[in-house]
Amino acid sequence: MINDASLAADGNFGNRVRSAVFWRSGTQILAQIIAWGSTLAVIRILDPNDYGIFAMTQVVLVFLSFMNGYGLASSIIQAEKVDPMRIRQAFGMLLLLNGGIAILQILLAPLAADYYRQPIIEDLLKVQALIFLATPFMVLPEALMTRNLEFKKPAIINLISAVVGAGVALYFALNGHGVWTLIYAPMAIFWTRAICLVIAVKFYIWPSFNFKGAGAMFGFGATLLASHFFWTIQSQSDIFIAGRFLNPHDLGLYAEALFLTTIFAAKFVPPLNEVAFPAYSRLQDDRAALSWSFLKAVRLIMLISCPLYLGMSVTAAPLVGTLFGPKWLEMTPYIRILALAMPVMTLQILFAPANNAVGKPQITARASFVGAILMPISFLIGLQWGAIGLAWGWVFAFPVLTLFTFFQSYRHIGISGGELVKAIWPGLSTSIAMAAVVYLADQFLPEMIVYARLAILVAIGGIAYLGLLWVLARPTLMEVIQLLLRRKPPEATLGPESATSTS
């Protein structure tokens, strides 16, 4: 069992957080490079129609996943003390939940096939149900290591599973299995992670189905469950609604554009949040340190997300031509629009671990509830203009949702609107100027192969962004450099003295 007293008294807590970030985000980047290499190869082999059908199955899979019990794992991370009996009870709950979900998905498979008018969806969903059986063996071992900020082993395991998944994807794509490639690769990743985590943690325990005394754990998990449920509605409603009216080809173009534009927010921010949640939890009694750490996280992450997404918007055509190939060029307009919404989505995601850490998961649930109403309405309106209208739905709805989240959160986290704007402004202002420079440069470039055009525009954007940061936001740039070099910043820039241990 984890010794919380020794962890709280650890004078090197800041170093532990930095090490956790390094292992979690560093190996995540490497794993994503491997995954993206195979993904791009597979995309060039498969057709948009395959991805459209796959997107339809994901609506069912993701919707049912909200019940898979990740909230129980979060309760273990957040709790001050956890005894072995609570772990056994959580394991028992997870086995019952995920076994039931697998059966439910098999029963729903023919109904989903009828709704989408695609018979193959029934077979795809029945096979995908096996993913849920791996979940209990992933969630608890990883939660136990996360609680102690031990991210090295899970990071290495994620890397191994990425390699296995890439190999499976390439094998099935090259052998003509079409949409089934997109089913087998995730299954290989899930089961590889489950097996490796059980071995790494020596998670050889018997589950308990006696849930006496587990009310607090279940209550915390149930609140996060509600939040996940509403988040699932808001994030999957576009495909669910459009899948009934758009053909698989157009839906595939939109779905892959959404996948590309959400890659940072969906793949890189959640791992950082996994580190932020236990770190914030240790600071929940020191509100000044918590607010300082939250604003610093916002400032640094927006320095990455804003130039990435605004640059993606102005280089959409050569980006698609380079990464996906000529048959995917029709997705260019979707990327240009969706990329504009993603910095706001990134900011929205950053609030959840801070709210959960101070024991306010209901705020995350309320924000998800509002999103579950707002986003489907936006998509229903946008669908009148086809898939392009779905993309604009993201642009109009997410700023409203993020404002709601802020007004629900700021008192508990201890921040003001001015402080939040000040944290966002360096990355946003310099990125807008950078995007304008890249757009103008693109207008004056002569015709050339897409690879060269993209390389030139990326180089121009990178140089312009660093130059603009130097001129317009030099303190923030120096903060990033100091963080990378792991040097202690000047005392005057630290804010509350109690926050220095998390820098």
Tens of pLDDT, residues 427-465: 999 999 999 999 999 999 998 899 999 999 999 999 999
Distance of CA 247 to the CA centre of its chain: 27
Q: What does the alpha-carbon distance between residue 292 and residue 415 come to, in Å, rounded to a whole number?
A: 8
Q: What does the alpha-carbon distance between residue 400 and residue 370 come to, in Å, rounded to a whole number?
A: 10
Q: What are phi and psi of 391, to 5 degrees?
A: -65, -45
Beta strands in 102-244 (DSSP E): none
Please name which of 120, 140, 274, 253 lies closest in space to residue 194, comparing C-alpha atoms: 140
64 pLDDT exceeds 60? yes
What pLDDT shows up at residue 114?
Answer: 94
Question: Looking at residues 255-267, what average pLDDT do you find?
Answer: 85
* Domain residue limits, the chain: 1-213, 246-503
Question: Looking at residues 408-413, what average pLDDT do you find?
Answer: 88
Q: What does the alpha-carbon distance between residue 285 and residue 289 come to, in Å, rounded to a whole number?
A: 9
Q: What does the alpha-carbon distance between residue 334 and residue 328 come to, in Å, rounded to a whole number?
A: 11
Q: What does the alpha-carbon distance between residue 29 and residue 271 come to, in Å, rounded to a whole number?
A: 10
Angle between helix axes 48-65 and 248-261 (nearest 10 degrees) is 60
What pLDDT shows up at residue 502?
Answer: 33
pLDDT level of residue 147 (50, 70, 90 thresholds): low
The answer to whether the beta carbons of residues 246 and 387 sit under 8 Å apart is yes
Of residues 90 and 224, more confidently modeled: 90
Q: What does the alpha-carbon distance between residue 47 and residue 248 come to, in Å, rounded to a whole number?
A: 10
Across the chain, what does the average pLDDT equal?
Answer: 81
500 pLDDT exceeds 80? no
238 pLDDT exceeds 60? yes
Angle between helix axes 136-147 and 152-174 (nearest 10 degrees) is 150
Of residues 124 and 232, more confidently modeled: 124
Of residues 378 and 83, more confidently modeled: 378
375 pLDDT exceeds 70? yes
Q: What is the pTM of this model?
A: 0.73
How far apart, in Å, are the Cα atoms of 328 and each of 46, 179, 318? Answer: 11, 17, 11
